[in-house]
Structure 1
Amino acid sequence: MIRRGYLTGPVLGALWMVVLSVTVAVCMSFATGDPFRPGILLSLAWGALAGGAMVFAGGVKLVQIGIAVLVAVLGLAGIGPMLSGSDAGLAARLFGAVALAAAFAMSLAPILDEVVPGVLTRHEFEGAVIRFLTGFGYIFFTAIVLIPFYVMVMTSLKNQSELMQNPLDFSVDVGRGAELFRSYNELFTQFNFGTYLLNSFFISVLTVFITLVFAIPGAYAIARLRFRGQAAFSRSILLIYMVPMIVLALPIYIAFSMTGLRNSFWGIVMIYPVTTIPVALYMLQGYFRGLPGEVEEAGLMDGLSRLAVIWKITLPLSLPALASVSLYVFMIAWNEFLLAFMLLDDPAKFTLTRGIAALNSSEIPRQHLMAGSVIATVPIMALFLGLERFMTKGLTAGSVKG
Structure 2
Amino acid sequence: MRAVRFGYVTGPVLGALWCLVVATTVAVAMSLATGEAFRPTLWGALVAGAALGLACLRPGGRRAPIWPVAVAAVILAGSAAGFGPLAVGGDTGVLAAWIGWLGAVGFTALGLWKMLDECRPGRLTRHEFEEAVIRFLTGFGYIFFTAIVLIPFYVMVMTSLKNQSELMANPLDFTIDLSQGWGLLRSYAELMTDYDFGRYLWTSFYVSVLTVLITLAFAIPGAYSVARLRFRGQALFARSILLIYMVPMIVLALPIYIGFSMTGLRNTIFGIVMIYPVTTIPVALYMLQGYFRGLPAEVEEAGLMDGLSRLKVIWKITLPLSLPALASVSLYVFMIAWNEFLLAFMLLDDPSKFTLTRGIASLNSSEVPRQHLMAGSVIATVPIMVLFLGLERFMTKGLTAGSVKG
TM range (shorter): over 0.9
Are 1:54 and 2:61 counterparts?
Answer: no
Change (3 A) 1:22 1:387: same
Are 1:26 and 2:28 counterparts?
Answer: yes
1:245 and 1:396 map into 2 onto residues whose CA distance is: 29
- 1:254 alignment counterpart: 258
- 1:389 alignment counterpart: 393
2:119 and 2:398 map into 1 onto residues whose CA distance is: 40
2:74 and 2:380 map into 1 onto residues whose CA distance is: 45
1:31 and 1:59 map into 2 onto residues whose CA distance is: 36
- 2:291 alignment counterpart: 287
Q: Is the 8 A contact 1:68 1:104 kept in 2?
A: no
1:176 and 1:135 map into 2 onto residues whose CA distance is: 38
**Structure 1 residue 56, shift from structure 2 partner:** 6.1
TM-score of the superposed pair, with normalisation by structure 2: 0.96
Q: Is the 8 A contact 1:72 1:100 kept in 2?
A: no
Q: Is the 8 A contact 1:263 1:346 kept in 2?
A: yes
Task: Report SS of the residue matched to 2:39.
Answer: strand
Moved more, 205-214 or 6-15: 6-15
1:50 and 1:74 map into 2 onto residues whose CA distance is: 14
1:239 and 1:197 map into 2 onto residues whose CA distance is: 32
Tell me which amino acid in the other structure corresponds to 1:245.
M
Tell me which amino acid in the other structure corresponds to 2:175.
S
Moved more, 255-264 or 346-355: 255-264
- 2:87 alignment counterpart: 83
Q: Is the 8 A contact 2:51 2:71 kept in 1?
A: no
- 2:191 alignment counterpart: 187
1:260 and 1:119 map into 2 onto residues whose CA distance is: 74
Deviations 1:229-286 (A, max 9, x none): 1111111111211222112212221222222211111111111111111111111111
**Structure 1 residue 76, shift from structure 2 partner:** 2.3
Moved more, 296-305 or 235-244: 235-244
Aligned counterparts, 1:77-156, within 5 A: 77-156=81-160
Tell me which amino acid in the other structure corresponds to 1:85.
G
1:75 and 1:170 map into 2 onto residues whose CA distance is: 25
Identity rate of aligned residues, in percent? Answer: 73
Are 1:229 and 2:233 counterparts?
Answer: yes
Moved more, 71-80 or 28-37: 71-80
Task: Report SS of the residue matched to 2:193.
Answer: helix
Q: Is the 8 A contact 2:58 2:119 kept in 1?
A: no
Tell me which amino acid in the other structure corresponds to 2:291.
Y
Q: Is the 8 A contact 2:23 2:86 kept in 1?
A: yes
1:319 is aligned, of 316, 320, 323, to: 323
1:200 and 1:300 map into 2 onto residues whose CA distance is: 41
1:129 and 1:179 map into 2 onto residues whose CA distance is: 49
- 2:223 alignment counterpart: 219
Gaps of 5+ in 2: none
Q: Is the 8 A contact 1:9 1:112 kept in 2?
A: yes
Moved more, 234-243 or 347-356: 234-243
- 2:43 alignment counterpart: 41
- 1:263 alignment counterpart: 267
1:73 and 1:177 map into 2 onto residues whose CA distance is: 39
Tell me which amino acid in the other structure corresponds to 1:246.
I
Deviations 1:103-138 (A, max 9, x none): 122221011111112222111111111111111111
2:64 and 2:343 map into 1 onto residues whose CA distance is: 61
TM-score of the superposed pair, with normalisation by structure 1: 0.97
1:29 and 1:80 map into 2 onto residues whose CA distance is: 17
RMSD over aligned Cα atoms: 1.5
2:296 and 2:40 map into 1 onto residues whose CA distance is: 58
Task: Report SS of the residue matched to 2:87.
Answer: strand
Deviations 1:10-56 (A, max 9, x none): 22211111111111011111111111100111111121122212326
